Amino acid sequence: MTSCDVTETRTQAEVVRLIQEKYLKLPPISQGTVSKIEKQFRERGHVRQLKKNLPNKLSDDQKLDIILMLEENPHTSSRQIASALNISHSSILRVLTENQMHPYKLVPTNELTEDDFDRRILFCEQMMQMIDDNTLQIENVLFRMNLHLHFTTMLIAKSVVTSREKILTG
């Protein structure tokens, strides 16, 4: 690292003239620019621009509006929220990240309620009655892989019993 010993002092006008002579292709700078740079150097010891640590300008109400809007309709895009609330898209993404919300990720859930068990029993009874009445065509029934094993076993057993009865009677 080289050290610089400044023994000669120049006026701002001389600095402007020297810069214009050395850098002919660049547009000329004003004496005000030189004055501003000199002031920064005297105050901070360097002329690098300071980082702008801006405070978060969104209020808690605005953050809540963002979250509520997404809760009301999870299919709303972050750009639509930004447009509707007149908030920048990056601010919307920051709030969503802070709240660990990812509107672009589809998360299927199967939430059980208190009366789900009763509905399952009723469905099983209706299906078994349809099998007994020969009104159910098994090939038209779509079974999902995550159906309850007991229900599937009951239907298969009932179907086998019904098929045996048909063979025996007829």
| 122 and 159 together in one domain | yes
Which of 6-15, 77-86, 149-158 bottoms out in mean pLDDT, i.e. has the lowest? Answer: 149-158
**In terms of domains, do 165 and 123 share one?**
yes
Burial grade of 78 (CB within 10 A; 0-12, 13-18, 19 or more): buried
In a domain, 134, yes or no: yes
Task: List the domain range (segments joined by +) for residue 142.
Answer: 116-169
**10 Å Cβ neighbour count for 93?**
15
pTM exceeding 0.85: no
* Cα-based distances in Å from 102 to 67, 85, 89: 11, 18, 14
What value does the mean pLDDT take over residues 90-109? 77
Is residue 66 within 8 A of residue 60, CB to CB? The reply is no
pLDDT, tens only, 48-89: 887 777 666 888 899 999 988 988 887 888 899 999 999 999
